[in-house]
Structure 1
Amino acid sequence: MTNELEELPLHTIYRRIDELAARNLIFYQAELAELGPQQKVYDEEDRLEKDFAIQNCQRNWNTFEAAAEIEESQGALGRENKKTKLALKIWDKLEKYYAALVAHQLLLNNQAPSRSTLTAMRNWFFNNTSGVPGGEKTAQLWGVSKTIFDDPHDLVALRVPAD
């Protein structure tokens, strides 16, 4: 199937899968919404802290990281270690969330396939080489996958850049 697609560059139509993409973004938002208040608790505790060593951890990343590593090496899940783990989790989720946002926006900005390209793709997909409406309907993929080109609003046409 892939070799045939390589020979037909106009047939670069794929599903955006908008429903799952939106759900993915919502899950990232929900998780970040839970992590934010946890960070605020640490921030408030840090603001009220009078101990110089802990204050120094707030103001110097290297000191903060070293304190967390010491706690980790001692097998303790101390405060600085917990804060480090939370910070790393937030960084990781934000990176994935922003990447998903950018990727989804990029797909939304792409054009939908033209009617003729979509028809050609559907004819190929259903082995309707004659192009006759209602021709042979044996899909390249079976099961639920045979419906991947049904919703034209959930499709994106990827184009080869002009020379």
Structure 2
Amino acid sequence: MDPDEERAGRQHRYLSGFGSLAYFISSDKDRSTAVYRSFDKLAARDLLYYEAELLELEALQDQYDREDAAKASKADSLSSEWLQIRLNARDWSSFKDTAAEPSADGIRWKKRMDLAIQIRSTLKEYREALISNADVFSLSRPSKQTMTALSNTFHQKLPDSLSSDEMAETDPILLGHSSQLFPLVTRTSPLPPTDHVSLKSIPEPDFLTYVLKNYCSRLFQTRNRSEMHGLTRLSSPEVRHYSVERVNFAASFITTMLSALLLFLPIYILYHVSAKRAGLTLGLIALFTCLFAGTIALVTNARRAEIFGSCAAYAAVLVVFVSGDFANSNSARSNG
């Protein structure tokens, strides 16, 4: 086969539409663009319909129970009718067999059986919908940066547009009501609240990672190696791809260096401070402990209790160093 033809066979050819949009979403190896709508309003309405249906079924069930109780109270305590009602109320097999009889009494019990089966089916669907919605609510919300990138890709800017209206200058990838799949973000219209969720679990970023992702993302920009040809656009020129792995590595490296610096620098300074200057020593310990607490709060997601424990351990290490033999030998050398 001709190499040019083989290379052309490997190239992706998509028209602008569902295919090109699906390719763009799936081409991100970090899966950060796997963002879809949860349709919260429709889900809430569906649950309300389920509740209304179950309430109607519950009311009908209560009505049948009252009718059976009234019928049993009017019948003789030893009559076959009284015995049948009591038996069907307590034994499932008798209830099922009576409902299968073609008699008038059997038809009456068949209504109760059909109601029980309908309640079972509807209640199962309702509870599955509840659990499904709970699972959706546990999904992460996409970041503003990701939603802006998806919006810029979905709403392509038209070249050589003569209109001053930003809405008219864009051409969404999908048409019809699907053109509202992602909100349009413009210079005058910021990102509105949406019900989009991300299928990728996104942990709460610490302050350092947030700064690197939002203000230093150009440092971690990657080349988009995917190729698409035909009547389509791969992505908006305003969309830039960066590696989340590189961002996390940079955040981890900076955190490690800060941790080492906050351990070595106090030891170095306290080593050269005379032990007779107790006030200065205590002040330096307090200063470095505050710096350590601020660093922990900024570069990690530590909770308040964890910050308190880390600071207590850090201050204890400095106090032990100051009061140890190493500090005493330094003091003796200074006096000598």
TM-score scaled by length of structure 2: 0.42
- After superposition, give the CA deviation of every residue in 1:83-128 in whole Å (9 maximum; x if it has no partner): 0111111111111111111111221222210112212222332356
Q: Once the 2 structures are TM-superposed, how far is the Cα of residue 148 of structure 1 from its aligned partner?
A: 1.6
Identity %: 32
Q: CA deviation at 1:160?
A: 6.3
RMSD of aligned C-alpha atoms?
Answer: 2.6
Asked whether 1:83 is paired with 2:124, we answer: no
C-alpha deviations, 1:66-94, integer Å up to 9, x for none? 211223xx798711100011111111111
Which residue of structure 1 aligns with residue 124 of structure 2?
Answer: 95
- How far off its partner does 1:6 sit? 2.3
What is the CA deviation profile of residues 135-159 of structure 1, one whole-angstrom value per residue up to 9, with x for unaligned ones? x733221111111222543111111
2:200 matches 1:159: yes
In structure 2, C-alpha distance between the alignment counterparts of 1:148 and 1:6, rounded to whole Å = 17
In the alignment, residue 5 of structure 1 is paired with which amino acid?
I
Instruction: Give the SS at the match of 2:101.
Output: helix
> Unmatched 5+ residue regions in structure 1?
129-133
* Paired amino acid for 2:179: K
The residue aligned with 1:144 is 177
Task: Confirm or deny that 1:123 pairs with 2:152.
Answer: yes
Output aligned runs, 1:13-52, within 5 Å: 13-48=35-70, 49=72, 50=75, 51-52=82-83
Contact between 2:139 and 2:201, CA under 8 Å: does it hold in 1? no
CA distance in 2, matches of 1:61, 1:152: 52
Uncovered stretches (5+) of structure 2, i.e. residues with no partner = 1-18, 76-81, 158-165, 184-191, 203-336
TM-score (norm 1): 0.81
Task: Report the number of matched residues.
Answer: 154
Larger Rg: 2
